[in-house]
Amino acid sequence: MPSLQQITCVDDFQRLARRRVPRMFYDYVDSGSWTESTYRANHADLQALKFRQRVARNIEHRHLRSTLLGEDCAMPLALAPTGLTGMQCADGEILAARAAERFGVPFTLSTMSICSIEEVAAHTSRPFWFQLYVMRDREFIGRLIDRARKAGCSALMVTMDLQVLGQRHKDIKNGLSTPPRPTIANLLNLATKPAWCWQMLHTRRRVMGNIVGHAKGVSDMRSLAVWTAEQFDPALGWADLAWIKERWGGKIIVKGVMDAEDARLAVQAGADAIVVSNHGGRQLDGAPSTISALSPIVRAVGSQAEVWMDGGIRSGQDVLRALAMGARGVLVGRAFLYALGALGEAGVIRCLELIANELSVSMAFCGRTEVGQIDADVLLNAALYS
């Protein structure tokens, strides 16, 4: 097994995670919907943006520190909300949250997490963000918002693009359900992951901790399956966001926006920040990449709300590209999940170190020393997606 210092990029973590994490949970991360064209485009379109290299500039002292919604960050990046994080490795949400705290960036806990809000709060000292899926059971949603507030969460991230579920072929083929189907193929694959199995045997956190025991009638994995199948709300609208903001009483982040008009509506409904996101290519296959949708949304929102981006971010250079195209910050999901599945908490910290170092060095080559100096002038072909 390579040492942490021998791991030099997210691809290294991905290869190691593929060996260590059961296939159904690895594929859950490494997949998109239908043909996965949008999943692939997120990263490919970022790579199409080329840098304008500059020389003979004073780049001796470089700084990455920034703020996201007024919170000081070691760099303009947060860990995205990701479902089933605790199935990449035991207690995964707790480990990722601790890594983010140690490095100095925000962590976002998913509604569909294995570790509960209260468990993550008990193992961290820095306030984290909570991501909300709006279910039909508004009474449960109200209690969930109240729990996040009581746990000290500093912002609520409302995901708006999961009113219906995109078809993900790998999940269907792998039998990823609630509970997972014990097929012969899955059992044989589990037999090749002894370290993962050993970890899971030694934790009590194996179900969705924010839901089981909290939603009416949900007491185990099977009742959870019935409940979740009925709870996604196709009628979700902007009026619901206004109700959520009033109930929450704090900062609201709206995630899942891919259209300038929707961005304006989100601001009108009270969004303090917007995440340009296509759910990592896991919902509408054939939708544009997030980097290609970013600039029109930045122009539409102006200074009314912060605009962030996720999807395809695998390196510090990708962060630089997103900032150059107008994002105030980025969220990373798959990158930290590969690191978590590969080497746990230490892996996530190393992943963040790699991204930060690459961002700093790439800024230097482009003649920039502070995040606030990054603009479209660091790219040769910014007009490609403007």
Among the listed residues 330, 262, 277, the one whose alpha carbon sits nearest the alpha carbon of residue 105: 330
C-alpha to C-alpha distance for 332 and 221, rounded to whole angstroms: 29
Please say whether the beta carbons of 160 and 236 come within 8 A. Answer: yes
Q: Is 59 exposed, middle or buried (0-12, 13-18, 19+ CB in 10 A)?
A: middle
Place of tokens 């925000």: 106
202 given a catalytic annotation: no
What does DSSP assign to residue 114? S
Collect all residues with Cβ–Cβ distance below 8 Å to 279 and sequence separation of at least 6. Answer: 159, 161, 162, 166, 256
> Which member of 43, 63, 214, 279 is catalytic?
279
- Computed on alpha carbons and rounded to an integer, the radius of gyration of the chain in Å comes to 20
Alpha-helical runs (H) found in 1-153:
10-20, 23-29, 37-47, 92-103, 117-122, 138-150
Please say whether the beta carbons of 216 and 137 come within 8 A. Answer: yes
Secondary structure (3-state) at 235: coil
Place of tokens 């692939």: 40
C-alpha to C-alpha distance for 89 and 76, rounded to whole angstroms: 26
Please say whether the beta carbons of 316 and 354 come within 8 A. Answer: yes
List active site positions: 279
